Structure 1
Amino acid sequence: MVNGVEVQSKVAQQAQEKALTEDALQFLAALHRTFESTRQSLLVAREDAQRRWDSGAPFDFPPETAHVRAEPSWHCAPPAPGLEDRRVEITGPTDRKMVVNALNSGAKTFMADFEDSSSPTFANMVNGQVNLYDAIRRQIDFETGGKSYKLTDKPAVLIVRPRGWHLDEPRVTVDNAPVSGSLFDFAIYFYHNAKELVKRGTGPYFYLPKMEHYLEARLWNDVFNFSQSYIGIPHGTIRATVLIETLPAAFHMEEILFELRTHSSGLNCGRWDYIFSFIKKRRADRVAILPDRKDVSMTVPFMDAYVRLLIQTCHKRKVAAMGGMAAQIPIKDDPKANEEVMEKVRQDKLREVTAGHDGTWIAHPLINKIAMEIFNKHMLGPNQYHIRREDVKVAAADLLNPKVPGKITEDGVRSNISCSLAYTASWIGGNGCIPLNYLMEDAATAEITRVQLWQWVKYGCRLDTGELITAAYVDKVIDQVAPGIKKTAPGVKDDNLKITVDYLKSQIRKEWPSEFLTSDLMPHLAIADGAEPKWQKSAL
């Protein structure tokens, strides 16, 4: 339909006809032709930076932007309609049932996720766009299994998370090149819904993931200005919250806000991805070895420094400092165990609100009441911008402090392997958000498990028993754990589990871990969706 644009898949054809209209694809093509070369140059810059860090260059705050950090007078845009009070935000994928339940959860906002909690099959990506289109217009009500799903009169405010800059969308090409997953998700949603959202009293609001440099925020800001001009709405209508979930971005918080200041609605502590990035970016530093995943809490030195700096930075610039995810889900058949888990949620949310956060994340609607009660008690106004945290002094060394009390145990190895296999096999099968051991897991935790196993093998770490962690040892545990994965994650197919086992065994043997498992394994989804082989990069 559009010159130079090809859609390589026929899945979800009815949804494609509704979402991938000629005018929406023209907009996507315009974004691709304007910004793709910049995106590619920024991805090359990431690789260059990693080589410098591998060679011993220090992580530090960028010297060329010291004047931005020192200047006290600039502030970000005031809160947009519907974003004045964000004390509890629920997150989840964009399937139709989840969208209705999340919007009805009682949370202030719903982050509809095309990224870490969605497996990016083309059906998921396109159907998700249709579901959001219908939800915005109050046309999403449906019945299934004898149960009705209907939006309440006052649903949560909608925020959308597109995929990160590193991901391609191989099912759609422009001028014989795959488009950016970020721009695909953004373009289709924005084009169809921006004006409708404004008409209904809110606006096009986004969460931006996985950035590593303030120039990547500048690219998003340029995309926003281009897009607002393209459809004819005022600049500044868009609002974006940036997830600080990479170690490099922690050194660029203020600059990221500055680049997006006319469109910014704050920063978020993307805690799980941040731990993943801490390991991955310091891959050449044996000092940065971390113990069992369960021991890397928000109170360990490098995580505490990151939280304090984020709150101080946001409130200095008068935007929201959002807390992290409560991944716990209720344990219905064991009241005592459920209360113990819910108490952990209470303590985590109490830590966040008393530190100065303006809101928090939850993964399950039944957690909303707990989180809301804590924030209602301790945050009497719509936010805590007045808590400036001028007492905070965070140096580069604080953000890099690897001292984490804990051990590497056999249970830790087994837990990592179980999570990695169960989640990754489910992801290949089209499910990007699964309950494991009463936690809602997404790609972030699977990434932590993968790089921890790699790190322990790479540096010849030992269990607390003294046993050496070798590739052969991890292989043995993988072979022991794998047969039980289908009980842990019902619906996992044998073929997908084999792919996952082979992938994990190959990863622990690499000189350096892959950047993202989602990039590595995307070809399996692309093949299933009918994308041309030339756009399918090797998975191993």
Structure 2
Amino acid sequence: MSAVVSRVQDLGGGTPERIELGAHVPGQEQLLTPAALAFLIGLHRRFEPARQARLAARRERQRFFDAGGLPDFRADTAAIRAGDWQVAPLPAALLDRRVEITGPVDPKMVINALNSGANCFMADFEDSTAPTWGNLITGQRALKQAVAGTLEFTAPAANGTPGKHYALKPFAQQAVLMVRPRGWHLDEKHVRVDGAPMSASLFDLGLFAFHNAGALTTFDRGPYFYLPKLQSMEEAQLWNDVLDHVEQALHLTPGQIKVTVLIETLPAVFEMDEILHALRTRIAGLNCGRWDYVFSYIKTFRKHRDKVLPERGQVTMTQPFLRAYSELLIQTCHRRGAHAMGGMAAQIPISGDDAANETAMAKVRADKLREVTAGHDGTWVAHPALIPLAREIFDERMPTPNQRHVLREDVLVVQADLIKPSLGTITRAGFEGNVEVCVRYLAAWLDGNGCVPIHWLMEDAATAEIARTQLWQWLHSDGLHLDDGTQVDFALLERALIGLPSKLADRMKLPGASRINEAIGMLDRLTHADDLAEFLTLPAYARLD
């Protein structure tokens, strides 16, 4: 595609600088103003070298794990873990977060989520948004209009019937808005500064903050962010430095921006105290990002034959290594005065089958009951219909706004508890299910859809990554067999891939149906590769737009 080049002044007021925008959608000039572009240039110039250093440290750490090393609590930060410090007081808007909803940033989703009755809405530029340029600009515009109170959406007409109109409820009835930018590992290929792609994290957070921080401050609503996929305290410190810079550049009160960090990588669970400490003037809590956490476990131990997990349906939060992760997070957060947020059950309501729907909802109830009983301060849902169910359970068991008084001093978690894999099996249905989820999700993602219901589970990049990395690890671990004795090998994968198009033939109205064959080819190459690709979305991003 041809580049659209804009010249803007650097933040320092020096000579004109060049920023290249590699795509264009109508109306983007209202967001990517000269002042906004200058702000983004300033973020890139100041923090890109540090980001690259952190990514290099990740690669070095993974080489240690690949050579047989194990993650553990750091000796050099023992004083932080032993110290008697707490995070800064939480703002009123974040004291009660018992039910949070998350989803992509398209206008209809933003309106429905803010109107949903949830306490908070995490608008997600990461795992549930395919980052086409159109999606990113549409999402930033939708959030800007939502903050201004002007967001409306009318669905397209169908069969001569006018489309449904969506509008925001009054501000006092809306969920508290939180925004999740993409992770440190992702570039924004459509924006190049000084010839280099900009960090997707800095683009997402920077553009949103530039346009909305002032209004949100006036409403005493932040801005508030969720920070994804951190692996170390140094990465948390980098975020803190970025947010200090943003506050200063936008004339915000120091500490005005509040964040919640998702503990969704295995290395990060050993540094939760340190992450809280690095962000202690602005952090509101930690979240059990369970699906990415399972994905990270597989990726971290990709070369460890003794750490192979069973099929993903058996890797539930009741497994000992995941229960240890959840309870340690609660204990750590509450000791420091921060919220310990629960994760998201992937089930969604099943229409037309009452028995199947009740089974699915029973799983959601059990999951939310486990969380509130353990001491979590809130939970996530992916569908508005699950909000009343989750709220009922938390209201009954948590009459206070949160449970930070539940210190869980009974919890004693050591390294072995966090790395011991769960027992289980690999069934043929589990193997073929992973193949189907990978292909269908990847096809939808390539078609611009980052959040896809498959077999009544809400699949996003995190859940698809579990399926993809499990396939790679199973296929590259000699001697694995299905529970029926069939050897797990590339012939088994080939049969599953060959049979998939006919299996999906009656569903060709599925999201991304036209890109099924492309997705099959990508999964075949990714699973055959000698090295596990770090993220599915990295090679897929090259094919997007």
2:87 and 2:337 in contact (8 A); partners too: yes
| Distance in 1 between residues matched to 2:511 and 2:345, nearest whole Å | 25
Match of 2:528?
509
Match of 1:536?
none
| Distance in 2 between residues matched to 1:211 and 1:482, nearest whole Å | 37
| Distance in 1 between residues matched to 2:387 and 2:513, nearest whole Å | 36
1:426 and 1:492 in contact (8 A); partners too: yes
Match of 1:469?
488
Cα deviation code 1:87-134 (max 9, x no counterpart): 000000000000000001100000000000000001001110000000
Match of 2:4?
none
Distance 1:5 1:486, change over 3 A: farther
Match of 1:272?
291
Distance 1:279 1:193, change over 3 A: same
The one-letter code of the counterpart of 2:527 is I
Match of 2:100?
89
The one-letter code of the counterpart of 1:40 is Q
| Distance in 1 between residues matched to 2:204 and 2:507, nearest whole Å | 31
Distance 1:191 1:238, change over 3 A: same
The one-letter code of the counterpart of 2:164 is K
The one-letter code of the counterpart of 1:59 is P
TM-score by length of 1: 0.95
Distance 1:492 1:109, change over 3 A: closer
Residues 233-272 of structure 1: pairs in structure 2 closer than 5 A:
233-272=252-291
TM-score by length of 2: 0.94
| Distance in 2 between residues matched to 1:258 and 1:522, nearest whole Å | 34
Aligned-pair CA distance for 1:142: 3.0
Aligned-pair CA distance for 1:395: 0.4
Once the two structures are overlaid, the 10-residue window that deviates more, 146-155 or 193-202, is 146-155
- Given candidates 454, 457, 461, the residue that maps to 2:472 is 454
Match of 1:130?
141
- Residue 402 of structure 2 corresponds to residue 388 of structure 1: no
Aligned-pair CA distance for 1:493: 4.8
| Distance in 2 between residues matched to 1:190 and 1:309, nearest whole Å | 32
Residues 172-251 of structure 1: pairs in structure 2 closer than 5 A:
172-251=191-270
Cα deviation code 1:203-261 (max 9, x no counterpart): 11000001111100000000000110001111100011000001001111110000001
- Residue 529 of structure 2 corresponds to residue 518 of structure 1: no
Once the two structures are overlaid, the 10-residue window that deviates more, 493-502 or 452-461, is 493-502
- Given candidates 117, 134, 142, the residue that maps to 2:153 is 142
- Residue 72 of structure 2 corresponds to residue 60 of structure 1: yes
The one-letter code of the counterpart of 2:515 is N
| Distance in 2 between residues matched to 1:402 and 1:519, nearest whole Å | 27
Match of 1:414?
432
Q: Secondary structure at the match of 1:508?
A: helix
1:421 and 1:482 in contact (8 A); partners too: no
The one-letter code of the counterpart of 1:453 is L
Distance 1:41 1:477, change over 3 A: same
1:90 and 1:362 in contact (8 A); partners too: yes
The one-letter code of the counterpart of 1:39 is R
Aligned-pair CA distance for 1:56: 1.8
Cα deviation code 1:436-495 (max 9, x no counterpart): 111111001110111111111111310111111111221111111233346557344566
| Distance in 2 between residues matched to 1:52 and 1:334, nearest whole Å | 49
Aligned-pair CA distance for 1:326: 2.1
1:418 and 1:485 in contact (8 A); partners too: no
| Distance in 1 between residues matched to 2:376 and 2:186, nearest whole Å | 30
Q: Secondary structure at the match of 1:336?
A: helix
Distance 1:495 1:152, change over 3 A: closer
- Given candidates 379, 398, 411, the residue that maps to 1:360 is 379
| Distance in 2 between residues matched to 1:364 and 1:142, nearest whole Å | 19
Match of 1:535?
none
| Distance in 2 between residues matched to 1:221 and 1:458, nearest whole Å | 39
Residues 157-168 of structure 1: pairs in structure 2 closer than 5 A:
157-168=176-187
- Given candidates 104, 118, 121, the residue that maps to 2:115 is 104
Give unpaired runs (5+ residues) of structure 1. Answer: 529-540
- Given candidates 47, 52, 56, the residue that maps to 1:40 is 52
Match of 1:398?
417
Match of 1:440?
458
| Distance in 1 between residues matched to 2:308 and 2:461, nearest whole Å | 21
Match of 2:19?
5
- Given candidates 418, 440, 444, the residue that maps to 1:426 is 444
The one-letter code of the counterpart of 1:20 is L
1:95 and 1:131 in contact (8 A); partners too: yes
Distance 1:489 1:201, change over 3 A: farther
CA RMSD of aligned residues (A): 1.2
The one-letter code of the counterpart of 1:13 is P
Distance 1:422 1:489, change over 3 A: farther
* Larger RCO of the pair (alpha carbons < 8 Å, separation 6+): 1
Aligned-pair CA distance for 1:58: 2.3
Distance 1:98 1:493, change over 3 A: closer
Once the two structures are overlaid, the 10-residue window that deviates more, 420-429 or 493-502, is 493-502
Q: Secondary structure at the match of 2:542?
A: helix
| Distance in 2 between residues matched to 1:307 and 1:353, nearest whole Å | 11
Q: Secondary structure at the match of 1:524?
A: coil
Match of 1:77?
88
Q: Secondary structure at the match of 1:4?
A: strand
Match of 1:295?
314
2:232 and 2:268 in contact (8 A); partners too: yes
Match of 1:537?
none
The one-letter code of the counterpart of 1:150 is A
Q: Secondary structure at the match of 1:6?
A: strand
1:422 and 1:489 in contact (8 A); partners too: no
- Residue 323 of structure 2 corresponds to residue 312 of structure 1: no
Aligned-pair CA distance for 1:281: 0.4
| Distance in 1 between residues matched to 2:401 and 2:495, nearest whole Å | 53
| Distance in 2 between residues matched to 1:351 and 1:486, nearest whole Å | 39
Runs of 4+ in 1 over 4 A off after TM superposition: 486-489, 491-495
Aligned-pair CA distance for 1:320: 0.6
Identity of aligned residues (%): 50
Distance 1:288 1:489, change over 3 A: farther
Distance 1:346 1:492, change over 3 A: closer
Match of 1:341?
360
Once the two structures are overlaid, the 10-residue window that deviates more, 142-151 or 56-65, is 142-151
| Distance in 2 between residues matched to 1:210 and 1:8, nearest whole Å | 27
Q: Secondary structure at the match of 2:230?
A: coil
